[in-house]
Amino acid sequence: MMQVPLSVGSLLEHAEKFFPKKEVISQTHDVLHRLNYGEIGQRTRRLMSIMNELGIRKGDRIGTLAWNHHRHLEIYFAAPGMGSVLHTINIRLSPEDIIYIINHAKDKILFIDEDILPLIEHIHTHLKTVEAFVVMTDKAELPDSTIQPLYSYEELLSTGDPTYEFANDIDENQPAGMCYTSATTGKPKGVVYSHRAIVLHSFALGLADTAGLSESDVSMPVVPQFHVNAWGTPFACTWFGSTQVMPGPRFTPKRLAEFIERFKVTITAGVPTIWLGLLRELEQGNYDTSSLRAVLCGGSAAPLGLIKAFEEKHNIPFYHAYGATETTPLVTISRLKSYQQDLTLEEKFQERSRQGILVPGLQMKVVGDSGEVEWNGKEMGELLLKGPWIADEYYKDARSDDAFKDGWFHTGDVVTVDEEGTIKIVDRTKDLIKSGGEWISSVEIENAIMAHNAVFEASVVAIADEKWQERPVACVVLHEGQENAVKKDDIIEFLKPQFPKWWLPDDVLFFEEIPKSSVGKFLKRELREQVKARYSPQG
């Protein structure tokens, strides 16, 4: 067979040729834009020519600090399209982490959204390698700024060459993108995606038994483009000619609901926090969501109650998926097999609340204290992964040695596997609670609490205990108006029939909010500190 290198630029070239009329609908700060792939293609070519003039060469890192919109999408293709590297930076990280990441990646140019400019003004003197800053604004005038040199994206594009060619000498193993992920301790860790990984992962997103992305889809990625490339959907959707709806800066659940109705969104993707917010909005407003064929939920465990609410109350198919920055990210998705259609409704929900089976193309192994675990749904072990879109190191980082050993990525996620091969994430290795030498899954208890009608969200952490070493404590946020309706004992009574006695939390603390990470996950490290402070207010 021919040896044809897989390249990210070729995905957009395909859309330009075969889907030039299909649209990208994009909300920016001030304007709702509608551009077709013909226009996106030409603008991307202009951008490549301009970056070339600005001195960007093969292998250079192109940083972005931006929300989900069409300009960000153009950089998704322009950077790898000219052989340089798309580096999406999480705008919700601390300024110190952002400085570290930009310097560590040695970004040469930064593309910034207008509302991120103040952050960059605050830190730009610490940025050692950046030679140019570009603001992605709709306004004719550039904002006043202390940063130099500062360019306007649209002004640059207006002088670019719309016929500029995508690089034709791409090695499929060369870097196309990179993304840093927060670590439990220490600085964020960088993951580099090759052209090959992104293209093969895009194929995987198109399979009927995964996300089944296709030309007829209207895809709205709510997961940020700075979080594992919006789970790779912009690459796949462009390639397949799907319509894309980019919800833009500082979107609200209301905007999401309106966009679903107005643009007849068929598929959308995000973390559970987003879907909890949307659910509230759907319950308050009267929206037509009948176009939705799939809501993809991942990034943290989707509570059973959330899945049921979407499916039973709103008739919206809801799919639980699992992955990580190191895995591009799709690893598993939860769908019933044909012969599981005979299960009872409750059994089906139980099955689909697990993280699902491995997508074709990857390999997995689950390793416990004494080797690989039995597929019996009970034995716990760490999930190890291998495959063409799984990273094999962190970028210039000594922590690679621990996470990537013997040819496998050690995920740090503790799982069980049932007879069907369905995995269930029980916990992060670091968040499991060890009580009297036995493991308690914090995730299982928190999901059970979140099924209580009065509960908005819940997280369970360990506190030190003299007798048992560690014991679980539940931290609960109640729905508005329910603040006085539920007490500690009600939660414990609710859990009693579902768990062995020794799993029941020793205490239930009520919070106004659970601290969350920059990508919307429970920040257990911070929560443990808050719990400790409650027990010893004097410090």
* Binder of ligand AMP out of 101, 135, 425, 445 (CB under 6 A): 425
> What is each CA distance from 434 to 165, 201, 416, in whole angstroms?
58, 37, 17
Among residues 49 and 447, whose Cβ is nearest to ligand AMP?
A: 447
Q: How far is CA 63 from the centre of its chain?
A: 18
Pick the piece of the chain touching ligand AMP (CB under 6 A) from 82-90, 207-215, 303-311, 314-322. 314-322
Task: Output phi, psi for 408, to 5 deg.
Answer: -125, 150
Binding of residue 300 to ligand AMP (CB under 6 A): yes
- In the complex, what is the shortest distance from the CB of residue 271 to ligand AMP, in angstroms, rounded to a whole number? 8
Kindly write out the interface string for residues 320-359 of this chain, putting x where it contacts ligand AMP by CB under 6 A and - elsewhere.
xxxxxx---x-------------------------x----
- In the complex, what is the shortest distance from the CB of residue 480 to ligand AMP, in angstroms, rounded to a whole number? 26
Binding to ligand AMP, residues 46-105 (CB under 6 A): none
- In the complex, what is the shortest distance from the CB of residue 78 to ligand AMP, in angstroms, rounded to a whole number? 25
> What is each CA distance from 54 to 102, 111, 151, 489, in whole angstroms?
19, 13, 11, 65
Q: Does residue 326 carry a catalytic annotation?
A: yes
Q: From its phi and psi, is residue 256 left (phi > 0), alpha (psi between -120 and 50) or beta?
A: alpha
- In the complex, what is the shortest distance from the CB of residue 424 to ligand AMP, in angstroms, rounded to a whole number? 9
Complete DSSP assignment for 466-512: TTTEEEEEEEEEEPTT-TTT--HHHHHHHHGGGS-GGGS-SEEEE-S
Q: Does residue 503 carry a catalytic annotation?
A: no
* Structure-token pair, residue 199: 């293209």
Binding of residue 28 to ligand AMP (CB under 6 A): no
Question: How many C-beta neighbours within 10 Å does residue 532 have?
Answer: 14
What is the SS3 assignment for 433? Answer: strand
- In the complex, what is the shortest distance from the CB of residue 364 to ligand AMP, in angstroms, rounded to a whole number? 13
What is the SS3 assignment for 431? Answer: coil
* Binder of ligand AMP out of 41, 190, 248, 298 (CB under 6 A): 298
Nearest by Cα to 65 from 127, 111, 16: 111
Among residues 259 and 522, whose Cβ is nearest to ligand AMP?
A: 522
Among residues 160 and 472, whose Cβ is nearest to ligand AMP?
A: 472
With b meaning 16 or more CB within 10 Å and e meaning fewer, what string describes 345-381? eeeebebbbbbbbbbebbebbbeeeeeebebeeebbb
- C-alpha 160/C-alpha 274 separation (Å) is 38
> Which of these is catalytic: 28, 181, 233, 268?
181
Pick the piece of the chain touching ligand AMP (CB under 6 A) from 48-56, 131-139, 140-148, 297-305. 297-305
- C-alpha 500/C-alpha 440 separation (Å) is 10
* Binder of ligand AMP out of 299, 303, 305, 381 (CB under 6 A): 299
Among residues 331 and 478, whose Cβ is nearest to ligand AMP?
A: 331
N residues, the chain: 539
Among residues 307 and 478, whose Cβ is nearest to ligand AMP?
A: 307
Contact 308, 277 (CB under 8 A): no
> Which of these is catalytic: 172, 326, 351, 457?
326
Q: Does residue 189 carry a catalytic annotation?
A: no
Q: Does residue 434 carry a catalytic annotation?
A: yes
DSSP class of residue 167? P
Among residues 127 and 324, whose Cβ is nearest to ligand AMP?
A: 324
Binding of residue 518 to ligand AMP (CB under 6 A): no
Pick the piece of the chain touching ligand AMP (CB under 6 A) from 4-12, 34-42, 238-246, 292-300. 292-300
Location of structure tokens 């610490």: 126
Chain residues in the site for ligand AMP (CB under 6 A): 181, 228, 298-301, 320-325, 329, 355, 411, 413, 425, 428, 519
Catalytic residues, by residue number, are 181, 326, 434, 439
